[in-house]
Structures are given as C-alpha cells and as structure tokens.
C-alpha cells in the first residue's frame, strides 16, 4: 500500500531531505531526473513532457535511456494529453508562432520505450489538465501556455492517491516563462494550508 509519496522537482533539494525521499513508498522525478543523487536515488516513476523539444531530446538521448533513475523507474508518466495538445496547435500558431514544435507528440514513442524496457506507461488525461487550469483561475495567473509538469503531476497524485501523505521537494516555482509559476506557487500553498501536501524542510514558500 502506498502511504507516502515524494514528488521531487528539478529545483534544489537539501541534503538532509534525501533520506526522507528514499524512505517514501513512491518517488516521482521529472524528465532528466536532475534531482537524482543529491535528492536521493529512489525513483519509482519519471514524469516526462511527451511533446515538443524535451520529448525529442529525451528519446534521442542514450544518456537519458541509461540514466539510473530512468532505468530503475517502474513507470513513465506522460503529462500531456495528445488530443488536448493537438487541439492547441492552431491557436498557438497565432499566439506563439515561435512554439511551432511545442505540440509535436511523442506519446507513441514513450509507449514503445516502456514496452521495450518493461515499464508501465501512464498518460495523464486532459481532465486533469483542465481541472488545474480551472483551479489556477482563483489566483489570477498572468497569460500562460500550459501549467508546469510539476503541477499536473501534483494534481494527478492528489486524485489517484487521495489517502496518501504527499511530500514535495525541489519545487522552486521558477523556470519557463510560459508556465504560470506565481499562481502555481499560490495554489500549492493553498493545498498545503488545506493539509493535502507538505514541503520537505517546512511548509514555507521557497
């Protein structure tokens, strides 16, 4: 039974948190598993951007495929619903023409990778993404393209493992300019105040 889940972002993780992360029943890392090592080693799932340049880079990288975190993971979570992102292509061509490959879909390639390596492939559905967009509205986000992978994974975990203790580490809420990080920080803090999440090292915003 999964009682404790650690969601470990690619931000800074304190050395003292590594043991707590590794002691969780289920550990989720992201993309190239930058948290691996300093942020512990246990990796049960790797959440990946399955569209655009990040997906293409990971799938084309022997180093990614051989990474200890990726190898040890039992599951790969694709955070972008293919149908939703296909529908976004035409509007983005007008609003953000520089993101011409943002919606290129590599879900099938991740499915093939999982089949070849004995992993389970989970594609997070558009209903989760849509619910996150709706939740962010309460915090008046600046114009954005999509929520971060971290927030999508948080929502999926809260939905799927409602009775588990969910811990966050390595979440600085900074990065790509078209993620709504200020609103995401507020939403995560709301979940913490409601007792649905904790931040390792304390519940203050980092």
**Do 63 and 53 touch, CB atoms closer than 8 A?**
no
Stated pTM of the model: 0.95
Tokens of 15: 């050395």
Model pLDDT, residue 128? 98
Q: Give percent helix, percent strand, percent coil of the chain, each to the nearest 5.
A: 45, 15, 40
Element (H, E) at 192: helix 181-193
pLDDT (average), residues 177-201:
95
pLDDT (average), residues 146-153:
97
Which of 104 and 172 is assigned the larger pLDDT? Answer: 104
Average pLDDT, the chain: 95
Model pLDDT, residue 203? 40
Element (H, E) at 8: strand 4-8
Model pLDDT, residue 202? 53
């Amino acid at each position: 039974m999964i009682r404790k889940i650690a969601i470990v972002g690619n931000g800074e993780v304190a050395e003292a948190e590594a043991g707590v992360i590794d002691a969780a029943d289920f550990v989720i890392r992201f993309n190239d598993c930058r948290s691996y090592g300093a942020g512990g080693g246990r990796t049960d799932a790797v959440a990946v951007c399955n569209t655009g340049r990040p997906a293409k880079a990971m799938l084309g990288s022997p180093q990614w495929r051989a990474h200890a975190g990726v190898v040890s993971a039992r599951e790969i979570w694709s955070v972008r619903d293919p149908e939703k992102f296909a529908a976004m292509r035409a509007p983005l061509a007008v609003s953000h023409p520089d993101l011409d490959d943002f919606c290129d879909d590599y879900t099938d390639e991740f499915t093939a990778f999982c089949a070849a390596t004995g992993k389970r492939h989970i594609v997070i559905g558009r209903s989760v993404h849509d619910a996150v967009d709706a939740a962010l509205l309460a915090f008046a986000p600046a114009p954005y393209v999509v929520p971060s992978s971290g927030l999508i994974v948080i929502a999926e975990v809260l939905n799927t493992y409602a009775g588990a203790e969910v811990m966050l580490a390595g979440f600085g809420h900074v990065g790509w300019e078209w993620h709504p990080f200020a609103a995401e920080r507020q939403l995560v803090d709301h979940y913490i105040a409601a007792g649905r999440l904790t931040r390792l090292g304390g519940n203050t915003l980092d």
